[in-house]
Structure 1
């Protein structure tokens, strides 16, 4: 069955269109590409995992008018398409000097814990004349939806509208901003049928103070404190004596305050120092359990952490070292059964003593330990684990007019260490990955030879599995780069400990490309897999062949 999908995505014209350069922009232009692909597939020994033949046509283009970009795409294939979205989003943000306006679908960021990139449909303005900083947006933050009959992947949502205002003073290096955001659900936007679940209307008032203070060119402070008053049901019962409390009474006129309301806070601060050979950052964060804002999509909440991240370079920047050490805890209100304490540490070293040789070493350690929270903690069920990761990557590169030699080793060791004696036997994991690759390039003939060896091993309580093998390939360009061709092969032996024989996998790929002209190009890809199952392996022996031939017209 033939089906076509037209996707017109006007999600972002430009982040900020400069109107003062409008006369220098082209009045109209269009660029993009049109492609046609023919895909073939055949398998023996297993059921087909794709159709024997497939055809796909695609077009991607961008129309530009006076600097505004309008991208769209088109897809047509002989495979049935079950879901289409003919029109997505339209929006633009023209700017002139210190003035920027927003229209349509936009996502604006005022701070991390208030309005933080949530998409809305509406209008907004941002102004930064001199030391004055002002921003305001208004629009729909969520569209009302009604589930289709017998649909299981849609839910009922109420329409959500609101505004956000930012008022501040300063420059990009030193500023203080006060932010207020108010968003409400409209209970009248959804009609509930008899017997359906009640969907309460919610309301959210967020205020925040966001600042950056530069003490010098090398040292500065960044911080934000925000409070979110979130009401999960505007129709819930109110507090007794609300009218007698002047502060709550005035607040209730701005946003609903009742038994479903909760005031939550979030704090972020950091002290930064940066010089030519040394830099460091000391950061503190605390986010209340359940903190949320209708101006953001997601927060990692119920956590408090302290991180220090120094970095420095030595020997005329030949040696670069970066590290970090962080302490984190949750259960800030002691409402969970247990409290998790985490230690996060990492060290990254890069040493390049001479142009032809260098080495990178990375080490990470993440440990998590539980202690009693709301309830006593049983020792046999206590979670106390540490995960370590060591990566080493030395490299040797020798390049001259005739040849180029690149030798690279990638070694990675990962280990999960369970420090609880009651569960260690069943949860510990040990993984080793090693790859050695060598490339030899003949510069004048544009010929490259590749050879590699690989070794992987995974060991845990259930099994011990390993795989090893080698790869070999060749690539070459012809006619001054107009034709690109390549051939690669990989032979991998794998199996579990105790198998009488290991299974064998052969991967072969052939690719070619021809740039006919500046507007026309052809490409061909062929993939072949041969899997031989032996010994105690339960998988079947099979062959799999896939080919892809395509044509691309660029305009």
Structure 2
């Protein structure tokens, strides 16, 4: 573990301190009348869409006619929102109303209550966005922020032999508290989250589910950020998670953790209980137009909280960052270099380390020209140690490095934007964008034929005629994908014209594109696509739209075309 016994005491003292402050502040809430807003507001909308489809040279790949009707209604009573929505089509039907997933958050001044289905975040190590059904309170008096939650985090799910893919689950209830002080130079906070499964909520008698047991978890964290000087600032967060895998275990807790022994009065630890630690911190220094920083994070193997869905545990990350603004802000530079490793306790069959680096450069010599360039490289090294290599080895030198695996991933992006004309009545622009991604694999010192190269590039020229509300766009697109010795690519131009009529109430557009794919014989094809669309707005509440798409595909194995027409109407109130 990262921290020893004294850190446990620190957490307990912090918990008492911040909880007391929370109680004092909560007593100052002054609830008056609801407010001066309208007591009731109603808004919503309804839409109808019809889709006509026809295939030529192939069997229809969708229904020749389909329709979709949808609508929503939102009632707001004294700031409490109750939405209702529905959707109906000849393919599927759905209906949702607020009594299935009700979430209301009445607010008055600095006090907000949360009722229904919701999610809250205290810390990445305690409660971090897990959805639950229940209630919460959020207070922000002055420089303080206080949050409290209580509710059901998992619904009981009985085993069902007809649906074996659904895993049974115990009902899980949880509660938590966060207190945080946000000063000008100092920010400090404490949070804790406790969850426990109801062992009587489901009945598991089948041995197939012997590994599903009721659990209990207590996760706590302390965070601190402080500006030592005007230019030097650091922040640190330390978290602890006490996790009991089976609350029904009869054996007592045999660990030597003093923190658990102190909390034994309100946390029932047993032989299935384990304690995990996590810490992250950063130090940043600003001098002139330069910023340099150091970040560190370590999460113990097995770290988990019932208040979060997923954790990247068994991980240690160290990174150095630098940023600068040069030449009166015309050049912006960002650099990040770091290392990452797992198998922190050395008991896994494989260990992976990663070296990463990234650089970003922005250059804007004038208001008309802007250039951006970003590059990143990630080198991953994995050492696999299968036990049978040692058992079957004839000499101590057998299998050395044969399972060492190295992968290098590189990404680069360049974007150039240039304003050809600043004439407000006839603006002209050109944009060039290139993306590159590549990976190289090596095993046992030998390069593998599993690398990947992907390049995507496009150039766009656009021109507008403001008085006539017309826009013209010409583009050329190209992408190539090389993997395992196979080369595939697609390239082609596209043209689009958009124009508005009747004081912009009627908007129309026409676009066409041609793409040619090359590579292995079976994947070569030519695709010609034409699209036309128009939408008309009447009295700001009624909107009619008509869209048509025609696509013709010419491939060695088959030639066919498809036509799709969509007509829709929308009404909002």
Tell me the TM-score range normalised by the shorter chain. 0.7 to 0.9
Figure out how many residues of one structure are paired with residues of the other and give that number: 532
Asked whether the 8 Å contact 2:253–2:273 carries over to 1, the reply is no
Contact 2:82 2:98 in 1 (8 A): no
**Corresponding residue SS for 1:507:** strand
State yes or no: 1:328 paired with 2:350. no
* 2:218 match: 205
CA shift in 2, pair 1:464/1:275, >3 Å: same
Partner of 2:471: 448
Alpha-carbon separation, structure 1, partners of 2:282 and 2:443: 35
List per-residue Cα deviations over 1:234-285 (Å, max 9, x = no partner): 122424878x998765544422322222111111111234577333442111
- Residues 78 and 241 (structure 1 numbering): CA distance in 2 closer, same or farther, change over 3 Å? closer
Following superposition, the deviation at residue 516 of structure 1 comes to 1.9
Single out whichever of 347-356 and 78-87 deviates more from structure 2. 78-87
SS at match of 1:353: coil
Matched with 1:43 is 55
* Aligned 1:267-282 pairs, distance under 5 A: 267-273=279-285, 277-282=289-294
Relative distance call for 1:518 and 1:305 in structure 2 (3 A) is same
**1:10 matched residue in structure 2:** none
2:237 is matched with which residue: 211, 217, 224? 224
Structure 2: distance between partners of 1:19 and 1:348 = 51
Determine the C-alpha separation between the residues in 2 that align with 1:500 and 1:79: 34
Aligned pairs for 1:148-163 (under 5 A) are 148=160, 150-163=162-175
Could you tell me how far 1:99 is from its partner in structure 2? Answer: 3.5
Residue 236 of structure 1 pairs with residue 257 of structure 2: no
2:439 pairs with one of 416, 433, 445: 416
Q: CA deviation at 1:476?
A: 0.8
Q: Which residue pairs with 1:68 in the alignment?
A: 80
Q: Provide the rounded CA distance (Å) in 1 between the counterparts of 2:386 and 2:222.
A: 33
| Residue 509 (structure 1) aligns with | 531
Q: What TM-score do you get using the length of structure 2 for normalisation?
A: 0.85
Q: Is it true that 1:541 corresponds to 2:559 in the alignment? A: yes
C-alpha contact 1:335 1:374 (8 A) present in aligned 2: no
Alpha-carbon contact 1:324-1:347 (below 8 Å) kept: yes
Check conservation: 2:454, 2:480, Cα contact below 8 A: yes
1:392 offset after TM fit, Å? Answer: 1.3
Aligned to 1:427: 450
Q: Distance in 2 between matches of 1:20 and 1:472?
A: 61
Structure-2 separation of matches of 1:245 and 1:94: 43
- Equivalent in the alignment of 1:407: 430
- The alpha-carbon deviation at position 228 of structure 1 amounts to 0.7
What residue in structure 1 maps to residue 314 of structure 2?
Answer: 302
Structure 2 partner of 1:30: 42
- In structure 2, what is the Cα distance between the partners aligned to 1:485 and 1:245? 71
- Alpha-carbon distance, 1:131 to partner: 5.9
Give, in whole Å, the separation in 1 of the partners of 2:446 and 2:55. 44
Q: Which of 467, 476, 499 does residue 476 from structure 1 map onto?
A: 499
Where does structure 2 lack aligned partners over 5 or more consecutive residues?
1-29, 391-398
- Which stretch of structure 1 is more off in the superposition, 372-381 or 51-60? 372-381
Unaligned runs of 5+ in 1: 1-17
Match of 1:285 among 275, 284, 297: 297
Q: Give the one of 333, 357, 364 matched to 2:369.
A: 357
SS in 1 for 2:35: helix
Corresponding residue to 1:263 among 270, 275, 280 = 275
Counterpart Cα distance in 1 of 2:169 and 2:339: 39
Q: Which residue of 1 aligns with 2:128?
A: 116
Rounded to whole Å, the distance in 2 between the matches of 1:162 and 1:360 is: 47
Q: Which of 508, 518, 543 in structure 2 is aligned with 1:485?
A: 508
1:72–1:348 CA distance, 2 compared to 1 (3 A): farther
**In structure 1, the residue corresponding to 2:270 is in which secondary structure?**
coil
